[in-house]
Amino acid sequence: MVADLEHIPVLLRPTIDGLCVSEKPDGVFLDCTFGRGGHSRLLLSCLGQGGRLYALDRDPQAVSAMSMIEDSRFAGRQCAFADLEQALDQWGLDQVDGVMMDIGVSSPQIDQAERGFSFRRDGPLDMRMDPSVGESAAEFLNRADARDIKEVIKNYGEERFAVQIAAAIVARRQERPLTTTLDLAQIVAGAVRTREPGQDPATRTFQALRIHVNQELAQLKQGLAAAFKRLKIGGRLAVISFHSLEDRITKQFIEGLANPKSLQDARLRKLPIAEPSPCLKKIARIKPSAEEIAANPRSRSSVLRVAEKLAEVAHG
């Protein structure tokens, strides 16, 4: 079943090129979001016999797909990328030559109604990337008060009708609990008065709940910090984001280590203290080509940021 689920990897060649895999054929690389293995397979094809690729994913179906790669240079395990240091320790690895992250939901997750990610397919209102961990979207919506629901939809979906949607959800659950994706999609459609052309009224609400249920932004912040820590000097970090919240976090993380001077408190700049040195070098910001968008419309909003580690963070 896993093999039949189509997933077109986004910004495939630019990601592998950004990691400079061909220049380090015997290097050690980490794919933090295996998905269905598109990026991993191309990376493996660029490695020499001495190279190694390790992969993580918290989705059990993605972990199952790892078994389809029969290559002695490859190893994978179920793990959230925020916990990548624990995984590397279990593999006996100290540092790696490159780390890649493809943030957000994958096509197979969206396309399977039973996963509860899609407002176009009726299924249980779940949205968890690892269905064995945490509460589902339905459990959250059926227990949280209107204020908490509003905050999630507003902050993670950037939804201007968050108040109306939250009120409609609370009113509906007084009649009967929300249990399916179409339950939620219909409630949102009744509460959203206008929407951008071509966008479903439920788009932002579903995005917000998915981010909340999976703690995606917190995971990203922790994962970026851990990836930087475990990169070798000269190692590359490549991160693909799909919406402004993810990309903003990635951009600020890279900017903070590439230009630490810009983050210093203005009151400290006049003091006779050494200026902090850059620890990262910004390499590239890449958007998909017109040809890629035509072949895979889901790539339209993606952006790849690549950075190179220059030094460890100085302490004390």
52-105 pLDDT per residue, tens: 999 999 999 999 999 999 999 999 999 999 999 999 999 999 999 999 999 977
pLDDT at 303 over 80: yes
Please give the annotated binding residues, written as ranges: 37-39, 57, 81, 102, 109
Please state which CATH number belongs to domain 2-107+216-309.
3.40.50.150
281 pLDDT exceeds 60? yes
Judge whether 189 and 161 are in contact, CB under 8 Å.
Answer: no
Question: Where is pLDDT greater, at 259 or 261?
Answer: 259
- The string of pLDDT tens digits covering residues 235-252 is 999 999 999 999 999 999
Q: CA–CA separation, 38 vs 46, rounded Å?
A: 13
Give the span between the Cα atoms of 34 and 31, in whole angstroms: 6
Gap between the Cα atoms of 170 and 142, Å rounded: 8
CA distance 299 to 7: 11
Residue 16 — pLDDT band, cuts 50, 70, 90?
A: very high
**Annotated domain spans of the chain:** 2-107+216-309, 115-214
Q: Which residues are annotated as a binding site for S-adenosyl-L-methionine?
A: 37-39, 57, 81, 102, 109
Higher pLDDT, 4 or 105: 105
Distance of CA 99 to the CA centre of its chain: 13
- Quickly name the fold that domain 115-214 has: DNA polymerase; domain 1 (1.10.150)
pLDDT at 274: 57
| CB-based burial, 291-310: b 16+ in 10 Å, e otherwise | ebbeebebbebbbbbbbbbe
**What does the pLDDT average to over 186-214?**
88
Tell me what the mean pLDDT of segment 188-196 comes to. 85
Res 113: pLDDT: 56
Q: In what order do the strands lie in the sheet with 52-57?
A: 74-78, 52-57, 28-31, 96-102, 231-241, 303-309, 280-286
Residue 76: strand pairing partners: 55
Q: What are phi and psi of 40, to 5 degrees?
A: -60, -40
